[in-house]
Chain A
């Protein structure tokens, strides 16, 4: 079982739609959580951190459920420019630390 699992998609949605991505992690020592965005043939870039209380950044809302070891990302009013792969990222506290990237969920937003 992968330590961080995401639905690979692709998700095909029309402009203006609301879309939700889910991510599960298996290590209970996971300490911090992020969503990164990766455009085709580009490097990953931080979209937002994920806090236990939930956090929002414009059209994007991230939620964390530590009990269920589950992270979500909600995108409202989708834009064409939101088309990308969304990576779920977990930092695990071990003797040192370990950063684990999910394989990503692809999103296509169409006009």
Chain B
């Protein structure tokens, strides 16, 4: 049981390049999330998904796109990387309890993170 995994662990891009970060979870969780973490700031939600085939914008979605074609995978894409996207990116997942309407209060399980530098 690997939990939440992320690939790659590290990446250096030049401005304007594109890339995709992959997140995979084997816990059969419904909810998945992408966050970025910058020094002195809390984790900020980029996009999230409440189930296969659905995505929604978080707090800082600009410059990113996501897809959830399979329940276990959540992809984060950068179409044209900018230096402001230098950050540590964390994926997380959580289990939606039945009976909860409109939200999840369950524990989020995080992947090990991807350190991205955009030059």
B87 in the interface, Cβ–Cβ < 8 Å? Answer: no
How many residues of B are in contact with the other chain, CB < 8 A? 22
Q: A43-B112, A43-B113, A45-B110 in contact; A8/B103 too (CB < 8 A)?
A: no
Q: A43-B90, A43-B110, A44-B90 in contact; A99/B102 too (CB < 8 A)?
A: no
Provide 22 A-B residue pairs closer than 8 Å at the C-beta atoms, listed in order of the A residue: A2-B42, A8-B40, A32-B105, A43-B111, A43-B113, A44-B43, A44-B110, A45-B110, A49-B107, A87-B43, A91-B105, A93-B102, A93-B103, A96-B50, A97-B105, A99-B33, A99-B45, A99-B108, A101-B35, A102-B42, A103-B40, A103-B42
Residues 13-53 of A, flagged 1 when their CB comes within 8 A of B and 0 if not, give 00000000000000000011010000001111110010000
Q: Which secondary structure dominates chain B's binding surface?
A: loop
B104 in the interface, Cβ–Cβ < 8 Å? Answer: yes
How many residues of A are in contact with the other chain, CB < 8 A? 26
Give every chain A residue within 8 A of B2 (Cβ-Cβ). none
Q: Name the one of A32, A97, A103 contacting B41, with C-beta atoms under 8 angstroms.
A: A103
